[in-house]
Amino acid sequence: MSRQLTQEEIDAVFQNTQGRRPETQGSRRAVPFDFRRPDRIAKSQLRAIHQLHDSFVRSLVSSLSAYLRTYLIVNLVSVEQLSYAEFLECLPSPTCIASISLKPYDGNAVLELNSSLIFPILEILLGGDGKLQFSSQREITEIEQVLLDGLFRIILRDLGEAWRFVTLIDFAIDTIETEPQFLQILAPTEAVVAVAIEIRIGDSIGMMNIAMPSIIIKMMRQKFDQQWSLRKSVSTEGEQARVLDLIRPSLLNSEVLLTGPQLLLRDLVNLECGDVVSFEYPANRALTMTLNGKEKFNGEMVASGRRAAFRVGQQLQGRL
């Protein structure tokens, strides 16, 4: 027997259905997924990469200070996962961007240095103080690329030493470009781990950006897990304190050198009594103190009575 529902009965059915909606909404856990930004690596591995590059930054401060003979500050800003297209969009133009090989792994990474850093560094390498009287937004020349070869070798050497705790990677420059869009070594949608590092040289501030393919880092996940577990079980605080008490009476050879310019051998041989050798270095320039042959402190030369002394400044590498 069929009958037609009244309007009141229809309204009651809809009210009952709406009343049950809050109960079903709580069980929904679906989240939007962007296929252009796949999450290739775990957050724990991303934290390990952050610690790895934090160590890289500390060693880079010491290396660049000694190489450029000037005081600088290096800070790790961020480590995040982006698509390669998003990474390129964040870079200025023109700039200095290099393709880095990752032997024995297949693939390339990217190393970028802002123009606001490149030209003060070139000024220092050519004997200046690094203070530019004008803002340069031009492309670097081939001659300037050759002058920067030593700088890149130091950066890649320290980067390789930092990654040595996880795996051996031979970082080497393949090509150098001045426009980010010209360096299409990866697919635009491919995920990369982007590392942003801020460098201050005097009044100049700029960024150094590194991008490594996430697919290569994902291949190292087992090695990251092994190193993470080893670091957690290295030693306790009591063991570290006991070792520190044992080495406290040890003697360290300290040395601060007032290095000067290079001399030609023929000029050195022909020196005679009364000749004057011009060093052309200011007495108040930054110096580096070494302990047992390793650079540990920045500082300056001061007078202590009738003797020259060394005033200790910033500690390098964050440890003794």
The pTM for the full model equals: 0.59
* pLDDT at res. 136: 67
Which parts of the chain sit beneath pLDDT 50?
Answer: 1, 22-24, 233, 319
Strand partners, 98: 111, 176
* pLDDT at res. 158: 93
* pLDDT per position as a tens digit, 112-164: 999 888 888 888 888 887 776 556 677 888 888 888 889 999 999 999 998 88
CATH of 43-232, one of 3.40.50.970, 3.90.1150.10, 3.40.50.10800, 3.40.1550.10: 3.40.1550.10
- DSSP letters, the chain, are ---PPPHHHHHHHHHHHHHTHHHHHTT-------TTS---S-HHHHHHHHHHHHHHHHHHHHHHHHHHTS-EEEEEEEEEEEEHHHHHHTS-SS-EEEEEEEETSSSEEEEEE-HHHHHHHHHHHTTS-S--SS---SPPPHHHHHHTHHHHHHHHHHHHHHHTTT---EEEEEEEESSGGG---S-TT-EEEEEEEEEEETTEEEEEEEEEEHHHHHHTHHHHHHHHHHHHTS--HHHHHHHHHHHTT----EEE--------HHHHHT--TT--------TTS-EEEEETTEEEEEEEEEEETTEEEEEEEEESTT--
* pLDDT per position as a tens digit, 6-39: 777 777 766 766 555 544 455 556 666 555 555 5
Where in the chain are the domains? 43-232, 252-315
* pLDDT at res. 37: 52
* pLDDT at res. 30: 67
* pLDDT at res. 23: 47
* pLDDT at res. 267: 83
| The CATH number of the domain covering residues in 252-315 | 2.30.330.10
